[in-house]
Amino acid sequence: MSKQALFIRHANEVITLKGSSQKPMTKEQMEELHIVKGGSVWLEDGKIQAVGPDEELLATYQDRLDEAKVIDATGQVVAPGFVDPHTHLVFAGSRENEFNMRLQGSSYMDIMNAGGGIHATTSATREADHEQLYTESKRRLDKFLVHGVTTIEAKSGYGLSLEHELKQLEVAKRLNESHCIDIVSTFMGAHAVPGDYKENPEQFVNLVINEMIPKVAELGLAEFNDVFCEHGVFTPEQSKRILEAGRKNGLKPKIHADEIEPYGGAETAAEVGAVSADHLLKASDEGMKMMAEKGVIGVLLPGTAFFLMAESANGRKMIDAGVPVALSTDCNPGSSPTVSLPLIMNLGCLKMGMTPAEVITATTINAAHAINRGHEVGSIEVGKKADVVILDVPNYMQLQYHYGVNHTKTVIKNGEVVVDEGRLV
């Protein structure tokens, strides 16, 4: 039985981002939202069937109006469902005590070396069973949904052993099957060196390469493979080996790069042909140039810099250099405990020098390309998934002007209304 058609009418602006499904947008293209003023959208069978001026769609579907549910978007903005391309969705526990330590002067690496940071969440996640992880993560997903996110990436990396990495990925798979948000999974066994391998990190690298990656690939639990390339974590050489091992097993490479200090992470991303390099607070000019040449997407995480009280990545410089840029919450319990992609968009403008149009592109079509979903979501075009948000503002500029506010009124996922008047249906 097919779903009832939805006819969204009379929007002040329909942000289509048309023509960007084959590759991410760069430089001046990121300003081109391809807005239809006074626009309407017809959704049916889980797909976008038509988009254009209201009078055109009214003429096309005049004989079928009684079949459709009409949604009046007068005075509002219609946009593609938001895409969050970098999260650590599945974890247990909380680390508000570290927030207090940071306010008193402790650094990220100070906390991690004292047994906090990733290691603290690893302990809590290892102790949690599937059901606890599922329940806590579902609660986060629901909050993402009311902020307009319809597709999300979820990394493992809080297990740091084969058993518990698989547990995280199994929970993400179960959530993908049961929740309306689409979840794209990334294996990140190389998120940190566990304490029992501290004196021999190379042994852990071999464990990731020889045992974890093949098993994850065999079970089909992840599409991507990520590594934390950072001084004191994994070297560029180790990172290359881990990412190449993933590629041999069918996992596409991603990399946490140059977050704490310049370390050649952006260059490594370009050398291995990573789909994206993420963080990049300290990326070198040469690294940015290499990323632009290879088409590596820069996934920037301004919420992390904000929460760590650090200087943000230079989004303006990256865009001008030709790097395709996406934005993400980096939702995680230590350095960015937020589910608010609208806040991240605000920070993209206020802390990274990006324009309101660029942050829309960075949280829709470019974010979709960062997880290989640009052909399915991220723009309002005929044939794509019927993932749409209706925002209670008269124009897209007000999304960033009224900062710190969730303007999401209605969320439509696969052609069904799942959030109405800001609440889960």
- Binding site as annotated, residues: 86, 88, 95, 158, 191, 256, 259, 330, 332, 334-335
Is residue 230 within 8 Å of residue 256, measured between CB atoms?
yes
d(CA 23, CA 25): 7
Binding residues for Zn(2+): 86, 88, 256, 330
List binding-site positions for Fe(3+). 86, 88, 256, 330
Binding-site positions for N-formimidoyl-L-glutamate read 158, 332, 334
Detail the residues annotated as belonging to a binding site for 4-imidazolone-5-propanoate: 95, 158, 191, 259, 335
User: CB–CB of 254/226 below 8 Å?
Assistant: yes
Q: Rounded to an integer, what distance in angstroms lies between the CA atom of residue 425 and that of residue 421? A: 9
Quick one: three-class SS letters along 254-312?
EEEECCCCCCCHHHHHHHHCCCEEEECCCCCHHHHHHHHHHCCEEEECHHHHHHCCCCC
The residues, any chain, with a CB within 8 Å of residue 361's CB and separated by 6 or more, are 17, 20, 25, 29, 30, 31, 33
Cα 121 to Cα 133: distance, rounded to the nearest angstrom:
12
Nearest to 262 by CA among 232, 292, 239, 282: 282
